[in-house]
Amino acid sequence: MKTLIRALPKAELHLHIEGTLEPKLMFRLAEKNSVNIPYDTVEEVERAYQFTSLQSFLDIYYKGAHVLITEEDFFDLTWAYLLKCKAQHIVHTEIMFDPQTHTQRGITFQTVVAGITRALEAGKEELRISSFLIMSFLRHLSQEDAFTTLAEALPFKEQILAIGLDSSELGNPPSKFEEVFKAAKQHGFKLVAHAGEEGDSSYIWEAIRLLNVDRIDHGIRCDEDRTLLDYLVNRQIPLTVCPLSNVSLHTVKDLAHHNILKLLNRGLLVTVNSDDPAYFGGYLNENLEALSEGLDMQASELRHLVKNSFKASFLKEEEKETFYQKIDTIYKALLPSESITSPGIYPNS
Ligand code: HPA
Ligand code: ZN
């Protein structure tokens, strides 16, 4: 399975660029920029990264982001992730960034976007990795703040494809951002939102009905509501699931109790993603390997999940088709005895 996981071309659709800040880079930037961080050694960092909930993670994650000051810092952060993509054979990525985490501390919107997009452009040229950028609103802040951030993003519309919603979910339901999502849609942005990570299935309904999202980030609590499950199957609304994140933040007891393969086999358009890999113990391939070990994922399920990562992306249909074919060719070459008629992409093939 490890060979197959590595060999298949993959897309990643749920990745916070601030969540790829590895301790080594955090230490280097802290020193360069004279920013205080509450750790001196990697061991101290590892001890601090024992989370008990989403909020316990966010508190540490926002502190880590304080070391990012210059455009070069955002470039270095993004470039390091793209090199990881290359090593893991991720050929397309749709990355999120949280501008408010930075503008609140006096870093300009332009600095953040310029550093990230310069790395993404270099990634296209030098590494052949395609990418889109998703700007997320912090949901613990007000809708008014989100409107200010949307206005700041408008001059960068060429660089930003979609709008998202992240941070502390409980008590900050999608309904709080109905108006700003409506405005974002009118400006032509694609829409995604975190929902059903810690929040219950009503948050997922709200993201669909009130925010009109194209995709749900996480969404694993959909299994509380059969009507919602049927709806997600019928409409093929994608869920970008992050298994190692869910275990780290105790939204799922352990991988053996994760519902991702049940959702997949029920016909939902689920994908696997790493969320904040520097904090949750692994990038995309480690998430897939963990599913193979913890849930006894089969090769045909892996193929289905990897195809879904393209199906749920914002790529054009013809680009998706090219990747489906590449996946099938590599799958057949590595597993010649496996039937390719096993579920490929629901509801076809
Ligand atoms: N949930 C909410 N907000 C986040 C996350 C997450 O998993 N990662 C980074 N910000
Ligand atoms: Zn996330």
Note the pLDDT tens digit of each residue in 187-236. 999 999 999 999 999 999 999 999 999 999 999 999 999 999 999 999 99
Does the annotation count 126 as an active-site position? no
Q: Is 139 inside any structural domain?
A: yes
Q: Which CATH number characterizes residue 147's domain?
A: 3.20.20.140
Residue with tokens 């006096």: 106
Ligand 1 nearest atom to the CA of residue 169, by list position: 2
pLDDT at 218: 98
Q: Look at residue 316 and give its three-state secondary structure.
A: coil
The backbone torsions φ and ψ at residue 85, rounded to the nearest 5 degrees and listed phi first, read -55, -45
pLDDT at 348: 42
117 CB near ligand 1 (under 6 Å): no
19 CB near ligand 1 (under 6 Å): yes
**283 falls in which pLDDT band (50, 70, 90)?**
very high
Choose, from 12, 71, 197, 206, the residue flagged as catalytic: 197
pLDDT at 345: 57
Q: Please give the distance, rounded to the nearest whole angstrom, from the Cα atom of residue 13 to the centre of ligand 1.
A: 13
DSSP string, 98-166: -HHHHHTTT--HHHHHHHHHHHHHHIIIII--EEEEEEEEETTS-HHHHHHHHHHHGGGTTT--EEEEE
Ligand 1 pocket: which of 56, 275, 279 to mutate (most atoms <8 Å of CB)?
275
pLDDT at 346: 52
- Asked whether 312 and 269 are in contact (CB, 8 A), the reply is yes
Please state, in angstroms and as integers, the Cα–Cα distance from residue 117 to each residue in 106, 122, 149, 186, following that order.
Answer: 20, 8, 18, 24
Q: Is 325 inside any structural domain?
A: no
Q: Is 231 inside any structural domain?
A: yes
Q: Is 287 inside any structural domain?
A: yes
pLDDT at 339: 67
Q: Domain limits at 117?
A: 11-297
Say yes or no to pLDDT of 340 above 80: no
Q: Is 52 inside any structural domain?
A: yes
Q: Is 276 inside any structural domain?
A: yes
Q: Tally the domains of the chain.
A: 1
pLDDT at 337: 80
Ligand 1 pocket: which of 18, 21, 51, 57 to mutate (most atoms <8 Å of CB)?
57
Q: Is 86 inside any structural domain?
A: yes
The residues near 305 (Cβ < 8 Å, ≥ 6 apart) are 264, 270, 271, 272, 288
Q: Look at residue 239 and give its three-state secondary structure.
A: strand
136 CB near ligand 1 (under 6 Å): no
Q: Is 88 inside any structural domain?
A: yes
Q: Look at residue 258 and give its three-state secondary structure.
A: coil
194 CB near ligand 1 (under 6 Å): yes
